[in-house]
Amino acid sequence: MRKKPSPFIWRRLFLKPFKNLEQQLDTLKDRGLVITNKQRTLKYLLSNNYYNIINGYSKFFQTPGSDNYINGVTFDEVASLYTFDKDIKRAILQSILEAEHHIKSITAHRFAEAYQNQHYAYLDTGNYSDDKILEVGYTVSRLSKIVNTNKNRNGTSIHHYYTNHDDVPIWVLTDYLEFGDTRYIIINLPTTLQNMIARDLVEFIRTNNPSFTGVFPPETMISFLKNINQTRNVCAHNNRLLNYNCSANSVHFSPIHDGFNLQDDDSRKSVYSTVVSLQCFISSEEFNRLWNTLRKKVRKLENKLKSVNINIINTALGFPDNWHHNDPRR
């Protein structure tokens, strides 16, 4: 009986052969992609990674179920979509960083207020919810690791407070937390503290929706933070944002969603839904700047796309058709 080839040999048998840039370009032309400037395209592929551009963005210009391009599609159109995706990730990430700053500041203030005069209060499992033992243990372990990693590094604020004050307050620690760290702190806080943080965030909701007079439920806040966190990671790691969906629907919140035509039975996993939810964490000035930047980027892309309808791209982000033709927000 013949022996089966080893997994290593199987992998070698199915390895794709290396293709230089000229060969890659020939493949694209064989599939119907129009190259208007060969040398410029070769330079672009060399510095921007063939795989990222072609495998990531060609599907929007290809016939369904095929590698062949729609008649007349140019490389410049594919490259424009790639640039668009990078540009909107940059804009969305900037707004998420603004939201992150607000959330960290509020969380640190309310936590420090609740546990005054207690050194390293965030490392005390008794200061968190008593029905999330495993989650609290993980969070405390993570925060302890951040302190221990930085306490002996000269020049850090953690080192300064550890050395001179025998304590690292939470409002110092927050500068070293990732978005996910802050989110898990909030998830594991007692309900009273979660409610206080949510009440503080109401001021942001009111700047975006002046008629709002209700409450911001903590479970809604936490579900928004989860999707914002996931979207942040896509943007920060420079993964493709087009066609991205979060792992779960955010909670429906009428004061924010209704004005953007997101109903209770609609999917709220999209980039659009995440952008809309940022109104709960940033001011109207910050939100309007993001909204108008995205609108401008879509309008610019529309002028560059000759082979496909811009609403294919809007749909890939979860935005309504032709939303970019509405007036800018003021």
Query: Mean pLDDT throughout 318-327?
Result: 96
DSSP 8-state symbol, 53: I
- The pTM is what? 0.92
The percent of residues above 70 in pLDDT, for the chain, comes to: 95
**Residue 204 covered by a domain:** no
By residue range, what is the domain housing residue 258? 214-317
Total residue length of the chain: 330
305 and 239 part of one domain: yes
Whether 256 and 209 have beta carbons less than 8 Å apart is answered as yes
Encode pLDDT of 99-114 as tens digits.
999 999 999 999 999 9
**Residue 21 covered by a domain:** no
- Average pLDDT along the chain: 94
**Residue 18 covered by a domain:** no
**Residue 11 covered by a domain:** no
Angle at which helix 75-114 crosses helix 310-317, to 10 degrees, equals 30
**Residue 59 covered by a domain:** no
Structural domain count, the chain = 2
Place 115 in a pLDDT band, splitting at 50, 70 and 90: very high
176 and 234 part of one domain: no
**Residue 61 covered by a domain:** no
**Residue 108 covered by a domain:** no
220 and 308 part of one domain: yes
DSSP 8-state symbol, 34: B
Query: Mean pLDDT throughout 274-300?
Result: 98
Place 5 in a pLDDT band, splitting at 50, 70 and 90: low
**Residue 292 covered by a domain:** yes
297 and 218 part of one domain: yes
DSSP 8-state symbol, 17: P
- From the list 200, 199, 250, the residue with the least C-alpha distance to 222 is 250
Whether 223 and 251 have beta carbons less than 8 Å apart is answered as yes
Residue 13, CB half-sphere, CA atoms under 13 Å: how many?
A: 7
240 and 284 part of one domain: yes
241 and 277 part of one domain: yes
Reduce the DSSP state of residue 74 to 3 states and report it: strand
Encode pLDDT of 57-72 as tens digits.
999 999 998 999 999 9
pLDDT at 2: 59
Place 52 in a pLDDT band, splitting at 50, 70 and 90: confident
Whether 99 and 289 have beta carbons less than 8 Å apart is answered as no
Q: Concatenated DSSP letters for 242-282?
A: TT-B-SSPPPP-HHHHGGGT--TTS---BHHHHHHHGGGTS
